[in-house]
Structure 1
Amino acid sequence: MGRGRIEIKKIENNTNRQVTYSKRRNGIFKKAHELTVLCDAKVSLIMFSNTGKFHEYISPSTTTKKIYDMYQTTLGFDLWSSHYERMQETLKKLKDSNNKLRREIRQRVLGEDLDGLDMNDLTILEQHMQDSLTVVRERKDTIHQLEKKYGMVENEVGYESTIAYSNLYGFCENPNNNIIHGSGYEPHGLRLD
């Protein structure tokens, strides 16, 4: 009794798919080895599973690079050159972007490298700097107001409000609006974020 023909389509069950991949991979590697031995063929077989595992078979006394070079020679086409050109273009764009950012830093932070800027560029740069200064001043004022209002205590973690400690450690109100001192809460280890 022979095996029935199976329909060639994706196996939906993950476990069955992995088992089939493993068995068929071994079968393909066996056939590649047979071709190498029987026909003195140079074989390079590269496979990736759907989980990203890499498997390869290479004929003895050869490498995948040698096979790849033979392939390019036979075709008369350099497969690496187009890839290399794209990489060079990307590198050039990244270098240009990096140089532009460095120049902006020198202009905004240090006030240097201003020679090539016309009046419009200088006006725009001045506006950016004023906007940045406004944001910094607003943040500084907010922190200053918080320190004045609540008092800030610096500790190993950062700043925490002393008002939080006072509320937890002995200054709580009871329902009769009388202040109760010494509620017994220990402030150690408490933090407000």
Structure 2
Amino acid sequence: MGRGRGKVEVRRIENSVSRQVTFSKRRRGLAKKARELAVLCDADVALLIFSDKGRMHHFAAHGSMEQILDRYERYLLCEDRDVTEDYPDETQENMSYDHIKLRSKLEALQKSQRNLMGEQLESLTFREVQQLEHQIDSALRNIRSRKDHILLNSIEELRNKEAFLMEQNSILEKEKAALGESLHTTNTAASSTTAVAAALPNLNICSFFSSRKAKSPPELTGKNCSPDDSDEPGS
């Protein structure tokens, strides 16, 4: 009696190279099966795979992945029996699909924001926590890069201001030196003019004639002489 084939235990492959090779082979095989299912049964099939490195692989038959995912979301919303419980003020009949979709996206964004703030992490799986960690690391890198860019721009701006102020200071120093030299030349010229004026004699016209009169002979000052008096014989 032949022995049946034993059950092979499925567990994580520890060797990273072997794990990557197995992933590639199984992914191609899975995509082949999905394609065959779509062709044979005329079914809309979508295949979405994320590797351990976070790389996404997808396959969609009879349309795009976006169309199939949109159809999937619409199906979930239509089949959700708790819609009226979540929004008691509105009935399912008067709520448009777009309105429900927008609310769902808003709630997903709010949940993602709370997760990024470190809140409500209990419901996350290990893979979701890893993806959240990658998002936070990426955000931190972007923030640090932006901060460094702002600091470098600020330093460059301060250097430009410093160079401009130094240039203006140099111009002012040159103007100050030129003004000082001009004042020195003006003062020197004024001093020379004053010294020359002090060295010249007093040219007062009244004083000049007074001094001439004082030096005239006495006989010329007593009386007036005429030519006729000088010609008379002595008598």
TM-score scaled to structure 2, two decimals? Answer: 0.33
Higher relative contact order (CA 8 A, sep 6+): 1
Whichever structure has more strand as a proportion of its residues is 1
The structure carrying a bigger helix percent of its residues is: 2
